[in-house]
């Protein structure tokens, strides 16, 4: 069930009415209803995978309590390791089993061995990386003494499976989201309006920008050998905007849907392409994941409270693991490692060269193109394809422009996608400039009524005229 589908519209409308008009007198009944609705939402893809999220939730609920009430510190740690083993074991099996088997077989063959290891036909459960990290952080925070375990089983199960952010985040912490399930929620007009704003802008970014850019990116990346360096470079930058609008669009719709139900989710993006450094980029991009790795990987490794060599290793390891989290492929690992390398390099460079506010734009000029170029490793199907595309960038010419012009007049799909992007991108660009380090809701809420409704109507018009309506393309991060 996709946010950009008519099915989700019907599902959420029914859920909204039942939640607020029939069950509003008792938040416990609301929680039970949300639990059932969330499992129906997740089961819409494949009901078989409900058992996985159920097991993950049960494990953390039971072991979280056991960790809290265990007086012996060593046994607390053993219980935490057991919790991590079960959660990460399920994630590792479904997401990484074939990757590690293939990698081990290749390494063994290079060393002269012929291991008889077979891969399995494993289907990756949608959203498993997201709900595993969310559920696991609950037990870790209990072990650290940051939170206490809840006695409300239904509230906890709903916290793990909450359908607005279940499949692709934001990855919420129990300290922020769980208490919201443990108290009564009231129907607030301001929260309702802000929720609709998030959803509207999210749909615009997904259906108008991301899904239209996907037409160009998919065609070019599916057959990169047919195109020259200029076209491949353009497609790579287009993918940068595609993945941003696709993923931030999902996050906005998730935040908006949650607000319509009386919940507040964390902001996941803050106009990351206006970043003036690689460090700034990771303070703005996929914030819920970057802060998760910061708190549960980087800081436990010692963070920046160690020697520079150890700190460098901590950064590189954290970002390499972040790359691996995104996918069981060497390209994702390289993508993560490169971001860690850029952060380390930036740190040492800025120790000797500091940019004043007057010339801080230099940081943007460096950060924006580099971040987009290394998206090649994220989008390409293999390492060989990544290297081929990167090598093509040295041969840039504008010969494709004449072909693109002829395609515009001869190919209906090409023309439709081109017109949609040319018509909608200036509006998207303007909003992103004005909403620097904030969000669409905060940008628009204090404007005059005429201004607000003008923007709403323009966005609705853009979605209806230029959006991809005849299908509901999946969100990119569903594969992670």
Ramachandran angles phi, psi of 323, nearest 5°: -65, -45
Alpha carbons 299 and 172: distance in angstroms, whole number? 18
What is the DSSP secondary-structure string of 84-147?
Answer: HHHHHHHHHHHHHHHHHHHHHHHHHHHTT---------PPPPTTHHHHHHHHHHHHHHHHTTSS
Alpha carbons 52 and 177: distance in angstroms, whole number? 21
The active-site residue out of 219, 283, 286, 326 is 326
Alpha carbons 360 and 363: distance in angstroms, whole number? 6
339 is catalytic: no
Alpha carbons 385 and 110: distance in angstroms, whole number? 22
Which residues lie closer than 8 Å to 452 by C-beta, 6 or more apart? 444, 445
Direct distance between the N- and C-terminal alpha carbons of the chain, in angstroms, rounded to an integer: 16
Q: Are 261 and 16 within 8 A, CB to CB?
A: yes
In this structure, how many other beta carbons lie within 10 angstroms of the beta carbon of residue 240? 24
Q: Are 268 and 246 within 8 A, CB to CB?
A: no
Q: Are 216 and 238 within 8 A, CB to CB?
A: yes
What is the b/e burial string over 160-176, where b = at least 16 CB atoms within 10 angstroms of the residue's CB?
bbbbbbbbbbbbbbbee
Alpha carbons 161 and 57: distance in angstroms, whole number? 8
Q: Are 211 and 467 within 8 A, CB to CB?
A: yes
Alpha carbons 138 and 164: distance in angstroms, whole number? 19
Torsion of CA 104, 109, 113, 115, to 10 degrees: 50
Q: Are 396 and 229 within 8 A, CB to CB?
A: yes
Q: What is each CA distance from 258 to 128, 245, 251, 285, 286, in whole angstroms?
A: 20, 19, 10, 20, 18
Q: Are 185 and 176 within 8 A, CB to CB?
A: no
**Token pair recorded at residue 314:** 């901590």
Handedness of CA 154, 160, 166, 171 (dihedral sign): positive
- Helices 361-373 and 229-260: angle between axes, nearest 10 degrees: 100
Q: Which residues are catalytic?
A: 326
């Amino acid at each position: 069930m996709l946010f950009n589908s008519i099915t989700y519209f019907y599902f959420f409308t029914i859920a909204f009415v039942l939640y607020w008009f029939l069950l509003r007198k008792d938040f416990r009944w609301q929680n039970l209803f949300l639990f059932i609705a969330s499992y129906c939402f997740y089961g819409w893809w494949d009901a078989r995978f409900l058992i996985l999220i159920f097991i993950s939730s049960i494990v953390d609920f039971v072991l979280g309590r056991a960790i809290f009430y265990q007086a012996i510190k060593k046994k607390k740690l053993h219980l935490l390791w057991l919790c991590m083993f079960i959660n990460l074991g399920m994630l590792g099996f479904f997401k990484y089993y074939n990757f590690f088997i293939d990698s081990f077989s290749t390494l063994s063959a290079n060393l002269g061995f012929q291991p008889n290891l077979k891969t399995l036909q494993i289907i990756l459960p949608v959203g498993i990386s997201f709900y595993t990290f969310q559920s696991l952080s609950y037990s870790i925070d209990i072990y650290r003494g940051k939170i206490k375990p809840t006695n409300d089983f239904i509230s906890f199960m709903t916290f793990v499976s909450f359908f607005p952010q279940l499949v692709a985040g934001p990855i919420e912490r129990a300290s922020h989201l769980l208490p919201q399930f443990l108290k009564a929620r009231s129907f607030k007009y301001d929260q309702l309006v802000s929720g609709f704003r998030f959803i509207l802008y999210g749909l615009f970014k997904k259906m108008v920008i991301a899904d239209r850019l996907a037409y160009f990116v998919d065609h070019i990346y599916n057959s990169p050998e047919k195109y020259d360096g200029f076209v491949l470079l353009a497609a790579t930058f287009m993918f940068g905007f595609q993945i941003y609008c696709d993923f931030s669009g999902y996050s906005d719709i998730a935040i908006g849907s949650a607000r319509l139900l009386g919940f507040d989710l964390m902001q996941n993006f803050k106009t990351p392409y206006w970043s003036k450094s690689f460090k700034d980029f990771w303070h703005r991009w996929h914030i819920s994941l970057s802060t998760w790795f910061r708190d549960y990987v980087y800081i436990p490794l010692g963070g920046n409270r160690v020697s520079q060599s150890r700190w460098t290793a901590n950064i590189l390891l954290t970002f390499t693991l972040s790359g691996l989290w995104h996918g069981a492929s060497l390209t994702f690992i390289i993508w993560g490692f490169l971001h860690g390398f850029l952060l380390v390099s930036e740190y040492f460079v800025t120790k000797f060269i500091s940019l004043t506010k007057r010339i801080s734009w230099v940081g943007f000029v460096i950060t924006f193109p580099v971040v987009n170029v290394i998206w090649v490793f994220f989008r390409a199907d293999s390492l060989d394809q990544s290297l081929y595309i990167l090598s093509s960038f040295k041969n840039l010419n504008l010969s494709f422009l004449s072909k693109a012009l002829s395609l515009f007049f001869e190919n209906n799909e090409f023309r439709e996608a081109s017109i949609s992007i040319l018509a909608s991108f200036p509006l998207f660009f303007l909003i992103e400039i004005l909403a620097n380090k904030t969000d669409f809701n905060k940008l628009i809420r204090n404007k005059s009524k005429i201004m607000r409704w003008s923007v709403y109507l323009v966005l609705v018009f853009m979605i209806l005229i230029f959006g991809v309506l005849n299908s509901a393309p999946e969100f990119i991060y569903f594969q992670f």
